[in-house]
Amino acid sequence: MTTPTSPVSPTPWVVRRSSLASRIGSGALVVIGFALFGVPQVFGTNIVQQLTSLLIFLILAVMWNALAGYAGLVSVGQQAFIGFGAYGTIFMTQQGIQPYLAMIFAAIASAALAVVLSLFVLRLRGGRFAVGTWVVAETIALLISLDQAIGGGTGTSLRGLNAYPRQVRIAYTYWLTLGFTVLLLLILFLLLRNRAGVGLQAIRDDEEAAASLGVRVGRLKFVLFVLAGFGCGAAGALTLANTLFIQPQSIFGVQWSAYLIFMVLVGGLGTFEGPIIGAILFFVIQHQFADLGAWYLIGLGLIAVAFALFLPRGLWSLINDRLHIRLLPVGYHLLRRSPDASANDRGKPNP
Amino acid sequence: MNWINAIVQGVFLGGLYALFACGLSLMFGVMRIINLAHGDLAVIGAFGVWVVDTQAHLPPFIALLPVLPVMLLLGYLLHRTVLARSLRSGPLTPLLTTFGVSIVIQNALLQIFSPDVHSLGSLTGSISTSSWRVTSELSVPYLGVLILAVAVLLLGSLQFTLQYTGFGREMRATAQDPEAAALVGVPASSVYARATAIAVATAALAGAFLAIHSTFDPSSGPTQLIFAFEAVVIGGLGSLWGTLLGGIVLGIAQTIGATVDPQYSILTGHLVFLVILASPRGRFVANRSAAA
């Protein structure tokens, strides 16, 4: 994994990991990340709550993209983990665990659930995986709605958080959400920069070719499936903390998958930056148009289909193809080393 | 006796699931894609029959006749507009686009017909309620026999078409190797479009029988897709008679679950599906490539 940049090399190309843009981009992201921690000190609870839901969307989009964009696993059943994280939190607070601690445990429990479920669903590929995960989500939803102790089919609310004053509770929830977001982005970033990342991008491009070159497809898929289980479980627990009330039909609803597919397709499938853009865009769209009900969802569906057909790499590809910018250095670039700086010296991304 | 009755009812319910599953199985066999909008297309069919039924005051079985050609056309157009392009951009795109189409259909139906639950059962007269009483606890419903017979007939004619007709040969050739088929003058896109048309029409037929058998509303599609998928996987992907068997296994699982407690019905079906998936045979089923 060392970059061959020795100056005696006779080729006019150098391999670069980062560029000016990615240095500025990642620097800016780190600054934004730190700045976001200060939001509850400055803004009111309404804005903090809105930001929390934006960050939850962001976690979900990033996790779904990790599955679909890199491991080639289109899941229609991530709501299984969202719901499991939320109900896990309810269950653990009933056992007397402090709510915020329960949320973290619930996320870990969701990762454990993903380990178990991987035995079933990772055997499936393509469309079979998609519907298989959906069946699993429905099964878990049915099992939970049978259990009267955690509210049954009518839903339940998270009680333990009433102990905190409203403002403090909203700030804590926000900080925990931001903490999870940063953690998950960091894990994914390190994973993609690692040897595993090269393997994952190879799987994204052609699973069979990657396997024939020695990429451990099964293991990498497993890692991402468990990571996505963890992230979606966390997102579910945080959704509960943000809304305080859940029902099996909505927290296990397949509309989550519709939102995830929309965010990732519009932002850019298989890119690091795409889901972030998609989540922000979806958040704005939801704010503007959610009142339209069915028309809003028809619009979302049509836009998602249009993107899948005509711009499958999403909005980020428009920026990336024109300007060759990557905000985060997760790939390698070829740079032509030309002493007489011609028009060619612009960095070209490695396809 | 209760159990025997549950199994008999399960077999008939399985006929309905096999009816739903055969379009899904056909599309998977020919194109290797799972149409996530399959259940919603079936619900369009059900609403189509309901509209003809209430507007023209025709009994459902006659109202079905004008709906089926419309659904054939709809399937053909679905392929020409969305699927053909999706298939060109890799194996994941059809999943994303059909899921998008499914969301659009559900919400469009919701917008047009409101979330009210409908049923065609009351409009079909005695056939949907009568049954042969074998013993005091075992009865054989007319409708169940009819649905099972239609399912067997449909699967049989699809099997016959695939095996013995020119179009069937074209479908098998395209399923095996689209490029080679194109070289000998069988354009894949045309075969795919016709296969989609047939699959959508069978979905509509299944939707109409669902509407007669029980109830439907704009959001009924996903559940039916899941049942159809379970039937297809339990029976072994890509095999049409296996699909019938899978539907019946699923139907029996659900009715036996319901005998214990009505809320276990669907859950038992899911669990049987997962057990089969996790069994050693499941690996074979899951990875088996289609042999239409």
Residues of chain A contacting residue B284, judged by C-beta atoms under 8 Å apart: none
* Backbone region of residue A245 per phi and psi (left: phi > 0; alpha: psi in -120 to 50; beta: other values): beta
CB B251 within 8 A of CB B17: yes
pLDDT of residue A337: 65
- Asked whether the beta carbons of residue B96 and residue A304 sit closer than 8 angstroms, the reply is yes
pLDDT of residue A333: 65
pLDDT of residue A7: 52
Given B36, B108, B267, which is nearest A139 (Cβ)?
Answer: B267
pLDDT of residue B133: 77
How would residue B291 be classed by pLDDT, with cut points 50, 70 and 90? very low
pLDDT of residue A329: 66
The pair phi, psi for residue A296, each rounded to 5°, is -60, -45
Query: Residue B92: is its pLDDT beyond 90?
Result: no
pLDDT of residue B255: 92
From residue A88, alpha-carbon distances to A64, A109, A112, A234, A238 in Å are 21, 8, 12, 10, 11
Mean pLDDT of B139-161: 90
pLDDT of residue A282: 93
Cβ–Cβ contact B81 with A under 8 A: no
Residues of chain A contacting residue B279, judged by C-beta atoms under 8 Å apart: none
- Asked whether the beta carbons of residue B230 and residue A135 sit closer than 8 angstroms, the reply is yes
Residues of chain B contacting residue A134, judged by C-beta atoms under 8 Å apart: 222, 226
The yes/no answer to whether this complex scores an ipTM above 0.95 is no
- Alpha carbon of residue A341 to chain centroid: 40
Neighbour-count burial of B164, counting CB atoms closer than 10 A to its CB (0-12 exposed, 13-18 middle, 19+ buried)? exposed
- Asked whether the beta carbons of residue B91 and residue A295 sit closer than 8 angstroms, the reply is no
For B190-242, write each residue's pLDDT tens digit: 999 999 999 999 999 999 999 998 899 999 999 999 999 999 888 876 678 88
Mean pLDDT of B154-170: 91
How far is the alpha carbon of B53 from chain A, nearest alpha carbon, in Å?
26
Residue of A nearest to B225 (CA): A131
Residues of chain B contacting residue A143, judged by C-beta atoms under 8 Å apart: 267
pLDDT of residue B156: 92
Per-residue confidence in pLDDT tens, chain A, 351 aa:
445 554 555 667 777 776 777 777 778 888 888 888 878 878 888 889 899 999 999 999 999 999 988 888 889 999 999 999 999 999 999 888 898 999 999 999 999 999 999 988 888 877 888 888 999 999 999 898 888 777 777 778 888 777 788 888 889 999 999 999 999 999 998 888 888 888 888 888 788 888 888 888 888 899 999 999 999 999 999 999 988 888 888 889 888 998 999 999 999 888 888 899 999 999 999 888 878 888 988 999 999 999 989 888 888 888 877 776 666 666 666 666 655 544 444 444 444
pLDDT of residue A335: 65
For B101-112, write each residue's pLDDT tens digit: 999 999 999 999
pLDDT of residue A346: 44
CA quadruple A202, A130, B33, A254: dihedral positive or negative?
negative
Given A130, A142, A298, which is nearest B266 (Cβ)?
Answer: A142
Residues of chain B contacting residue A132, judged by C-beta atoms under 8 Å apart: 233, 277
Report the share of chain B in percent with pLDDT over 90: 52
Residues of chain A contacting residue B97, judged by C-beta atoms under 8 Å apart: 305, 308-309
Helix (H, G, I), strand (E, B) or coil at A157: strand
Q: CA–CA separation, A238 vs A227, rounded Å?
A: 16
pLDDT of residue B151: 93
Residue-range domains of chain B with CATH: 2-287 (1.10.3470)
Among the ranges given (A296-305, B155-164, B180-189, B281-290), the one the predictor scored with the smallest mean pLDDT: B281-290
Cβ–Cβ contact B243 with A under 8 A: no
- Asked whether the beta carbons of residue B226 and residue A134 sit closer than 8 angstroms, the reply is yes
pLDDT of residue A54: 93
Test mutation, B81, B107, B266, chain A, max A CBs within 10 A: B107
How far is the alpha carbon of A131 from chain B, nearest alpha carbon, in Å?
7
Quick one: tokens of B69? 């050609």
